Each structure stands twice: as C-alpha cells, then as structure tokens.
Chain A
Amino acid sequence: MIFTGLLVGGVLGLVLQRGRFCITGAFRDLWVSGSWRWMTAFLLAVAVQAVGVTLLTATGAITPEVPTLSVVATAVGSLLFGVGIVLAGGCATGTYYRAGEGLVGSWFALIAYAVTAAVSKTGVLAPVTTWVKGLWPTQLTTIPAAFGLPDWVGVLVLVAGVAGLVRWQLRLAADRPVPLQLAAQRTGLNHLLFERAWNPLVTGVLVGLVAIVAWPASWATGRHDGLGITTPSSNLVGWLVTGDADRLDWGVMLVLGILLGSHLSARASGEFRVRVPSATVIRRSIAGGLLMGVGAAWAGGCSIGNALVQTSLLSWQGWTALVFQVLGVGITAYFTLIRPRNQRRAAREAASSPSGRANGTRAASPVAAR
C-alpha cells in the first residue's frame, strides 16, 4: 500500500514541474518585486487543503493531531530554513523537482538537505534538536482553539481571506495579461499536460487537491500525516545507510515519487537537461541545503510540512513557521539580491549625472530615457 505514495508523489512532481510551483519564489517575490502572484497561488493551495482536511476529519476518515508549538525551535529553525532556501535556489519540493529537471546545483542542495535533516533528527545532532525544542515549549495547538473557537471558524476566515487575495490577483491579471503561451506543436492531453503553460492559480488548486489526497492515502498505510518532505528525506537517508526497512514508509515513497514524476514530466515536455552551475552556485547550494536540513528539523517541518500542511490545520506551529520562513527569505533576498540591485541603480544614476558624463564613464542617454 505504501506504493500509493509513489503515485501521489509522481503526480505532485508533475504538477510542481509543469506548473513551475516555487515556494521560494513566492516568498522572495514579496520582497524583491512586491508581487503577490505566487504567494496567492500558495495560500490558495493551503485554503483548498484546509477545506478538504476539515471535510475528511468531519467524516471520520482521518483524525489529524496538531503538534504543540515550541516557540524558539519553530521560529529560529524556520528563519534558518528561509535563509537556506534562497541560497539553495529552491525550497524542499523545489529542490526535488529541479533535481528531476537536471539542475546539478539542486542535486547538491538535495543531498546536503537530506543528510543534514537525518543528522539533526536521528543522528549525532539529535540532542541539539531536542534541546532547542525544549527551550520555550507551549501547549498551543490550533489558532482557533486558543480563542475557544471550533477549527471550522478558522477555515472560514482563511477561505475568505484567500478569496480576497485571489480576486485582487485576478483583477491585476486582467489589467496586464501575461503573454505566457508558446506556439503549440502538440495536441490534446499531450498539449495540456506537457506543453501549455499553466496558470499559477490553477497550479495552486492542483497542489491543494494533491495535498488532500495525500491524507487518506498516507493514513491507510499507518502514517498519520499528510504531505511531508523533511522527515521522509531523513528516513530515506536512514534506510539507505542502515538497511532498516521500517523507515521505508509512505513518506519515503512520496519524495521518491516527486523526483521520478518531475523527471518524467521534464523529459516528456523536452525540459530535461543536465545543467552544471558555477562553483559559486554549487557552494551556495550546499550551504543552503545544510541550513534547510537543520532548520526544518528544529522547526518540525519545512515549506511543505509546516508552511503548506500545518497551516491548513490552522496550527500555531504552521503559521509561526510560515512567518519566519518568509522573514528568513526576506533577509537573505535583501543581502543577495535587493542591496546589490540598489547599488547598481545608484552607480548607474551617478554615471548619468553631469559629473559622471564629464568623466565619460558611461553613456547617459539610455538611463535618461527611463
């Protein structure tokens, strides 16, 4: 039965790869370009999943347990994770699907992430993880529960908020349509799945639907959880190095499925090529992967386990993690992208000023035309 994990993972890999669903990009765009296009798609996936999980829980198909919030571990771990995903150029699932597309930088990030997650969860650094988790423990589970409200009230608020965001993005999209489509060379399902550009909001809904299906599929195998990447990656490493078949669960099948699904999808759409980056990018990818592994182990989840799944359960851990991941992404984006860009802009303006022109350092007219 754990093979349904391979199937769900395969479909998720296809959706992520073809939909270009990048959580790092969604968080980073907020800071770099002020765009909510992908953040809206991401929150739409959370909202869709929240509705599905509420219905599944109401029918008794699943009974999700929400972990209690450990403040320091979740906040600091998620901040480190946020820094890591910018350096690695992709979050947990982003790294898996880019690895499937043949990006060698993501291969390095993935290995560093999986090994460090295993080291921090069950290896020599496990005592450190336990210590951090014990620093500021709380009894907080879901946000509605803290206010004495039933969880479905929180789901309604979430759905209403996301509906507002979607409306706003649809209006923006109508004002400035994105010319996404390449000339069609294929027909039918082949065109729809492997050629046509996917709309971010449609991709978000599909990710949410896959996340819903993951719950009962995983539950049926005795793994009482939804989508997850960090613990499964850690278990994959554990199984590989110990041969202990107990670790080979639905979650491990899921992450292998994502890798396989994104690879086959990239092949089918002519988007697979082994791409070797520069030494700088490889170094950054490894550093990013290391931070991702430690951070996710401390926080009790990554961009999927916490930011996508725990948020849909309205848990304090999930939403705290989301906020600190976005902050970590913002801090790193400032130093690696925003500040260098501002410096280049300032240099360009200085070069086009009268004194710069007199020195003949740079042609002024293109800048003046802006």
Chain B
Amino acid sequence: MRTVLETEGLVCPFPVMEAEEAMADLEIGDELVIAFDCTQGTQSLPAWAADNGYTVTEFAKTGEASWSITVRK
C-alpha cells in the first residue's frame, strides 16, 4: 500500500514528526510518500529513515524548493 503525506508549508522538525505519525499507522512493507518543501528536510528525512531502519525507495526534487521522498516500512 502507498500512502501520500503532504507536508508543504511545514518547517523542520514537523515534516519528520508528521512522517513518524503516518508511519505508525502503516503495515510492514507499506510505502509512505512524503512531499515537503523544507530545505532542511532533504537532510533530516533521509536521516530519520536511516535511524529507523526504513528503506528509501525514491528521492526526487519535484520543483523549486520542493521534494518527494518515498520510505518503505
């Protein structure tokens, strides 16, 4: 299952905290797509995934100061 989480407009650490919340409701193997525009998130979201042992399956710049990262639980 793929869930999309829009966090545009939120600055760090809120994209990470929202992602943490969303992840809690997912099953192992599910994917979470996180859209964000906080520059710092390009560092903190992959770091959060690594710290929790989640796999990053996709990481892309989607526009001016906009990114999307997909994390598998």
Contacts and interface: CB of A to CB of B under 8 A. Distances in A.
Contacts, number: 94
A329 to B, nearest CB: 12
Nearest to A175: B50
A87 B59 CA distance: 29
A269 to B, nearest CB: 9
B64 A272 contact: yes
B29 to A, nearest CB: 10
A183 B44 CA distance: 18
Interface in A40-67: none
Interface string A6-49: 00000000000100101001001000110101000000000000
B24 A337 contact: no
Given A176-B51, A178-B47, A337-B17, A369 B27 contact: yes
Main secondary structure, interface of A, reads: loop
Given A25-B12, A176-B53, A273 B37 contact: yes
B28 A200 contact: no
Interface in B6-52: 9, 11-13, 17, 20-21, 24-28, 37, 39-40, 42-44, 46-51
B27 A179 contact: no
A3 B47 CA distance: 38
Interface in A238-291: 266, 270-273, 275, 277-278, 281
Given A25-B12, A28-B13, A33-B51, A344 B25 contact: no
Given A37-B47, A182-B59, A273-B65, A366 B25 contact: yes
Most chain A beta-carbon contacts within 10 A, residue among B17, B39, B46, B65: B39
A344 B39 contact: no
B46 A180 contact: yes
A301 interface: no
A105 B28 CA distance: 37
A336 B17 CA distance: 12
Given A103-B11, A369-B28, A271 B40 contact: no
B5 interface: no
B2 interface: no
A103 B56 CA distance: 27
B64 to A, nearest CB: 5
B27 A35 contact: no
A277 B39 contact: no
Given A25-B40, A25-B44, A178-B46, A89 B11 contact: yes
A275 B59 contact: no
B39 A179 contact: no
Contact of B65 (A32, A89, A102): A102
Contacts of B25: 363, 366-367
Most chain B beta-carbon contacts within 10 A, residue among A178, A200, A344, A345: A178
8 contacts: A20-B44, A89-B12, A102-B65, A266-B65, A270-B61, A272-B65, A278-B9, A337-B17
Interface of B: 9, 11-13, 17, 20-21, 24-28, 37, 39-40, 42-44, 46-51, 53, 56, 59-61, 64-67
Which 5 A-B pairs rank lowest in CB-CB distance, beginning with the nearest? A273-B65, A179-B56, A366-B25, A178-B50, A20-B43
